């Protein structure tokens, strides 16, 4: 049976990004998949659908083809700072790149009340950017991988980003490279001759974030991110333990609600299959 602490950690955590590599599905297939996932017992793990703003018009046709209405699918819209809000979408969050506080302000003013996540270089330490995100109630976004080895930041880089976000009390989301629960070597794409490399685990990243939110030291945080033995993450109904470090289920839920919001994944099937293989998901 799925424990209460795992449910707290993974509730609405996956923003389905089927349009993006390595899946790179077309829009009708992505919408059909999302509707199918909404009907599964694991729908409690499903967040928004990631949609580029330039496909907003085609989204209406894909919805009709799937016999769905706009309100049936929450959208996380990927935009540039100059894009205008389209009509007819249930936009719950907006994702964009912005390297300047003025652009962050422009995004927030244009897209409110949707939550705005600004993709930052994970090594960006500029206080003015983090202060602006906090002031405006916006979030940060970290790219945790990709389809090439050089797209994956080191554990210490991810740890520094998480610590910085926690110190500033700025919520964040992650994207890319988080198909699997625990850090390990995997193929980077679905090609038969795909390169292989070490990929971050979504349990590692989000448990590290929850621990950071509640004051874990930087050294221990890096070790959580580098953990490769799933057996060292012990989930019960009352909480989770990693070695001698613990969080209650309530602490996990608070961190998810206030800090580590979600991650984008082009697969909703792989994360669930791996969790079942580990005996964590019923």
**pLDDT tens-digit profile of 155-179?**
999 999 999 999 999 999 999 999 9
pLDDT in the model for residue 124: 79
Average pLDDT, the chain: 96
Q: pLDDT tens-digit profile of 74-98? A: 999 999 999 999 988 999 999 999 9
Q: What is the 3-state secondary structure (H, E, C) of the chain?
A: CCCHHHHHHHCCCEEECCCCCCCCCCHHHHHHHHHHHHCCCCHHHEEEEEEEHHHHHHHHHHHHHCCCCHHHCEEEEECCCCCCCCCCCEEEEEEEECCCHHHHHHHHHHHCCCEEEEECCCCCCCHHHHHHHHHHCCEEEEECCCCCHHHCCCHHHHHHHHHHHHHHCCCEEEECCCCCCCCEEEECCCCCCCCEEEECCHHHHHHHHHHHHCCCCHHHHHHHHHCCCHHHEEECCCEEEECCEEEEHHHHHHHHHHCEEEEEECCCHHHHHHHHHCCCCC
**Residue 105 falls within a domain, yes or no?**
yes
Residue located via tokens 């070490």: 198
| Torsion angle in degrees (nearest 10) through CA of 205, 209, 211, 213 | 180
Rounded to 10°, the helix 127-136/155-168 angle is: 50
pLDDT of 181 above 90: yes
Nearest to 272 by CA among 4, 14, 3: 14
Q: pLDDT tens-digit profile of 254-278? A: 999 999 999 999 999 999 999 999 9
CB-count burial class (<10 Å; 0-12, 13-18, 19+) for 179:
buried
CATH code of the domain covering residue 126: 3.20.20
**Residue 160 falls within a domain, yes or no?**
yes
Residue located via tokens 């995004």: 107
- The residue ranking higher by pLDDT, 260 or 69, is 260
**Residue 171 falls within a domain, yes or no?**
yes
pLDDT in the model for residue 275: 98
Question: What is the total count of domains within the chain?
Answer: 1
pLDDT of 143 above 90: yes
**Residue 215 falls within a domain, yes or no?**
yes
- The residue ranking higher by pLDDT, 40 or 99, is 40
Nearest to 4 by CA among 253, 257, 271: 253
**Residue 282 falls within a domain, yes or no?**
no
Largest CA distance in the chain: 52
**Residue 281 falls within a domain, yes or no?**
no
CB-count burial class (<10 Å; 0-12, 13-18, 19+) for 241:
middle
Write down the pTM of the prediction. Answer: 0.95
pLDDT in the model for residue 51: 98
Average pLDDT over residues 56-80: 93
In sequence order, the β-bridge partners of residue 263 are 14, 174
Range of the domain at 161: 4-276
- Percent with pLDDT over 90 in the chain: 91
């Amino acid at each position: 049976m799925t424990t209460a602490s795992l449910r707290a950690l993974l509730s609405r955590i996956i923003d389905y990004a089927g349009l993006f590599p390595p899946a790179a599905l077309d829009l009708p297939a992505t919408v059909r998949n999302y509707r199918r996932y909404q009907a599964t017992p694991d729908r409690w793990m499903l967040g928004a659908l990631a949609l580029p703003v330039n496909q907003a018009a085609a989204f209406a046709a894909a919805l009709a083809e799937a016999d769905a209405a706009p309100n049936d699918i929450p959208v996380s819209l990927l935009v540039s700072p100059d894009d205008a809000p389209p009509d007819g979408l249930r936009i719950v969050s907006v994702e964009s790149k912005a390297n300047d506080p003025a652009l962050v302000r422009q995004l927030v003013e244009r897209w409110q009340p949707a939550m705005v996540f600004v993709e930052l270089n994970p090594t960006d330490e500029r206080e003015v950017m983090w202060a602006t995100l906090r002031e405006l109630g916006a979030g940060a976004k970290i790219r945790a991988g990709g389809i090439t080895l050089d797209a994956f930041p080191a554990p210490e880089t991810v740890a520094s980003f998480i610590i910085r976000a926690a110190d500033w009390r700025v919520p964040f989301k992650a994207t890319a490279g988080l198909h699997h629960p625990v850090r390990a070597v995997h193929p980077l794409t679905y090609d038969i001759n795909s390169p292989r490399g070490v990929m971050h685990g979504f349990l590692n990243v989000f448990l590290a974030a929850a621990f950071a939110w509640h004051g874990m030291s930087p050294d221990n945080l890096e070790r959580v991110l580098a953990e490769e033995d799933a057996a060292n993450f012990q989930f019960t109904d009352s909480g989770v333990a990693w070695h001698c470090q613990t969080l209650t289920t309530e602490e996990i839920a608070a961190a998810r609600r206030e800090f580590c919001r979600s991650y984008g994944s082009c697969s909703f099937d792989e994360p669930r299959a791996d969790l079942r293989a580990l005996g964590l998901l019923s």
